[in-house]
């Protein structure tokens, strides 16, 4: 049984223009929440990419079913290989911003999911005050994080009550692209930053070199219907400037999961929605993930932009 989802037209969230050209179309190839066809629009005025029409916020349950990745994968720490690899990757990619954090520094992870990043930070630095925010925490996730002294705020960012005490670092990984009102969300976060505090964002990059292979249908970064807005370096920097943050650094990160999603979507647009052939390229296929991570590392080494970016901005 497939369910109907309510969609509404929207304007470009960057410049307000209603003029757009359809850039890509596809279905929910990953969670199969609804059978709807979705369209990715490209703004005729500023070039911004956004889902249009898009689901209303009340449809969030159809967009994020109960088996959605970040909730169902409980943090497993050192218990398995994937957990160990993730902890190491998390610690390494945050090394530079961590080095700037004062003793007892306050860190907020917005959209922390199962909390694996906060756990990696806890293992690296016992002195930090760690806070996680997400719109839903399963009880066992909450228990295991709180046991490690991590405080949790259970709320969507849009309506969250953020603590009065400012943060030295706010991390938002693969979340800004999911927000209905990205500028409002970032405005709130900028307000919660200490002077000289940093906001670290990771989000897909529409300038990724692999988008050209899957462009019109199946590029994994579209992630129908969950990614509502997508940025390249310039447009994300513009958005941050509008909320009073100055970009300090921008770089590409390898994007193995976007490759996997691209391949799953390509298989389904060729062999039919929900085709069992997608099992050959699943998100738990470690050798395949490692292979794409390596391919992207090579691409970065020769100066290519990948489909995943890390942008660090600062409140001056
Ligand atoms: Zn625009």
Predicted confidence (pLDDT) per residue in 290-299, tens digit: 999 999 999 9
pLDDT at 81: 63
Is pLDDT above 70 for 29?
A: yes
pLDDT at 75: 40
Distance, CA 4 to ligand 1 centroid (Å)? Answer: 29
Nearest to 311 by CA among 265, 245, 248: 248
Distance, CA 221 to ligand 1 centroid (Å)? Answer: 19
pLDDT band at 70 (very low <50, low <70, confident <90, very high): low
Contacts of 250 (CB under 8 A, 6+ apart): 233, 236, 237, 309, 310, 311, 312
Distance, CA 7 to ligand 1 centroid (Å)? Answer: 20
Distance, CA 219 to ligand 1 centroid (Å)? Answer: 21
pLDDT at 83: 65
Pick left, alpha or beta for residue 36 (phi over 0 → left; psi -120 to 50 → alpha; otherwise beta).
beta
Stated length of the chain: 316
Is pLDDT above 50 for 236?
A: yes
Nearest to 99 by CA among 80, 84, 121: 121
Distance, CA 155 to ligand 1 centroid (Å)? Answer: 29
pLDDT band at 1 (very low <50, low <70, confident <90, very high): very low
% of the chain at pLDDT higher than 90: 70
pLDDT at 76: 42
pLDDT at 61: 80
Nearest to 252 by CA among 193, 284, 296: 296
Is pLDDT above 60 for 187?
A: yes
pLDDT band at 77 (very low <50, low <70, confident <90, very high): very low
E strand or H helix that includes residue 189:
helix 182-191
pLDDT at 60: 82
pLDDT at 82: 62
Average pLDDT of the residues in 85-104: 80
How far apart are the C-alpha atoms of 237 and 67, rounded to whole Å? 33
Average pLDDT of the residues in 156-169: 93
pLDDT band at 234 (very low <50, low <70, confident <90, very high): very high
Distance, CA 307 to ligand 1 centroid (Å)? Answer: 21
Spans of all domains in the chain: 1-65+218-244+255-308
Distance, CA 51 to ligand 1 centroid (Å)? Answer: 12
Distance, CA 215 to ligand 1 centroid (Å)? Answer: 20
């Amino acid at each position: 049984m497939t369910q109907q989802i309510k969609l509404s037209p929207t304007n470009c969230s960057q410049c307000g223009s209603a003029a757009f050209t359809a850039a890509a179309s596809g279905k929910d190839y990953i969670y199969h929440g609804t059978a709807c066809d979705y369209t990715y629009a490209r703004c005729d005025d500023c070039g911004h990419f956004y889902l249009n029409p898009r689901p209303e916020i009340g449809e969030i349950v159809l967009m994020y079913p109960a088996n959605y990745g970040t909730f169902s994968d409980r943090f497993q720490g050192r218990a398995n290989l994937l957990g160990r690899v993730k902890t190491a990757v998390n610690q390494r990619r945050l090394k530079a911003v961590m080095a700037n954090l004062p003793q007892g520094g306050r860190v907020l992870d917005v959209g922390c999911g199962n909390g694996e990043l906060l756990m990696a930070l806890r293992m690296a630095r016992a002195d930090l005050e760690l806070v996680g925010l997400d719109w839903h925490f399963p009880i066992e996730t909450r228990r295991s994080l709180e046991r490690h002294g991590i405080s949790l705020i259970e709320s969507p960012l849009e309506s969250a009550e953020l603590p009065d005490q400012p943060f030295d670092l706010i991390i938002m990984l693969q979340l800004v692209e999911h927000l209905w009102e990205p500028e409002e969300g970032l405005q709130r976060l900028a307000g919660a930053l200490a002077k000289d505090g940093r906001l670290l964002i990771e989000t897909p990059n529409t300038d990724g070199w692999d988008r050209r292979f899957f462009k019109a249908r199946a590029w994994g970064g579209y992630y129908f219907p969950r990614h509502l807005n997508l940025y390249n370096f310039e447009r994300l920097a513009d958005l941050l400037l509008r909320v009073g943050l100055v970009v300090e650094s921008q770089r590409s990160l390898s994007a193995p999961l976007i490759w996997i999603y691209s391949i799953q979507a390509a298989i389904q647009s060729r062999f039919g929605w929900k085709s069992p052939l997608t099992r050959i390229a699943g998100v738990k296929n470690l050798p395949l993930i490692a292979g794409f991570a390596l391919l992207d590392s090579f691409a970065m080494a020769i100066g290519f932009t990948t489909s995943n970016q890390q942008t660090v901005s600062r409140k001056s």
